[in-house]
Amino acid sequence: MQILDKLNKQNISDAFALSMTKFFRIIADTFFAKRYGHRAVVLETVAGVPGMVAGVWMHFKSLRVMKAGYGEQIREMLAEAENERMHLMFFIEIAKPNLLERCLVIAAQGVFMFFYTVMYICFPKTSHRMIGYFENEAVKSYTEYLEQVESGQVINIPAPKIAIEYYNLHPTAQLSDLIIAVRADEMHHAEVNHNYASSLDTETQHNQNSADKNKAA
């Protein structure tokens, strides 16, 4: 019975994370369709939120429980947020969003910041799983963007100077080189967040097993 309960909770958590990912994908497709440069601007604005929220919450958790051991996780989450912020800087140079799109960026960030903060405090495992799925979708989007560039549908313009310096790319690097580098970052973020979700699931199960043993004793 306990195994079934565990599986049901896990399935519900993953199903919710996946459904939210699909919901946000539909919104992105509706507003931006194949305009991947503009899509990247909005999505990277939102993508900069989870790492910051997780890092700050882990920081306060370490202070609250008065225990060390959170440093690596805090640094990793904050580094993810900084990396996503830099992605935004790159694609602002490329897409050059207009006033309406900039307003949309501000609105999207504000709404998602509130939503994700509450969600992370209440359901950290589901939150990490959802971001893992988000990053999987980001990889798909950048792959489609790269295909457009390589097929000639989008001009393969020179990569912005800020991106060349950040990734230490060749001085003649182009948009396609930047997309490949950003996509690799997103692959890493997906792996990190899925791993965190799995580790939290294992930790929860361990605590439950310990509680059951104490009751039996």
Chain position carrying tokens 């950048």: 142
Q: How far apart are CA 174 and CA 90, in angstroms?
A: 12
The strand pairing partners of 71, in sequence order, are none
Give the total number of structural domains in the chain.
1
Mean pLDDT lowest for which of 27-36, 44-53, 83-92? 27-36
Check residue 9 and give its pLDDT: 56
**The pair of three-digit structure tokens given for residue 154, joined into one six-digit string:** 């989008």
Chain position carrying tokens 């958590």: 13
CATH classification at residue 109 = 1.20.1260.140
Check residue 206 and give its pLDDT: 45
Domain that holds residue 124: 16-198
**2, part of any domain:** no
Check residue 68 and give its pLDDT: 86
Check residue 10 and give its pLDDT: 63
Q: Concatenated DSSP letters for 75-117?
A: HHHHHHHHHHHHHHHHHHHHH---HHHHHHHHHHHHHHHHHHH
**The pair of three-digit structure tokens given for residue 75, joined into one six-digit string:** 């640094």
**The pair of three-digit structure tokens given for residue 168, joined into one six-digit string:** 């230490």
**10, part of any domain:** no
**190, part of any domain:** yes
Task: Check pLDDT > 90 for residue 147.
Answer: yes
**207, part of any domain:** no
Check residue 204 and give its pLDDT: 53
Q: In the predicted model, what is the mean pLDDT of residues 165-188?
A: 97
Q: 17 or 124: whose pLDDT is higher?
A: 124
**The pair of three-digit structure tokens given for residue 198, joined into one six-digit string:** 């799995």
**212, part of any domain:** no
Q: How far apart are CA 168 and CA 48, in angstroms?
A: 22
Q: How far apart are CA 29 and CA 52, in angstroms?
A: 26
Q: In the predicted model, what is the mean pLDDT of residues 91-114?
A: 87
**209, part of any domain:** no
**215, part of any domain:** no
Check residue 203 and give its pLDDT: 58
Check residue 142 and give its pLDDT: 94
Chain position carrying tokens 């960026």: 105
Check residue 89 and give its pLDDT: 94
**3, part of any domain:** no
Residue 198: C-alpha distances to residues 76, 190, 194 (Å): 16, 12, 6
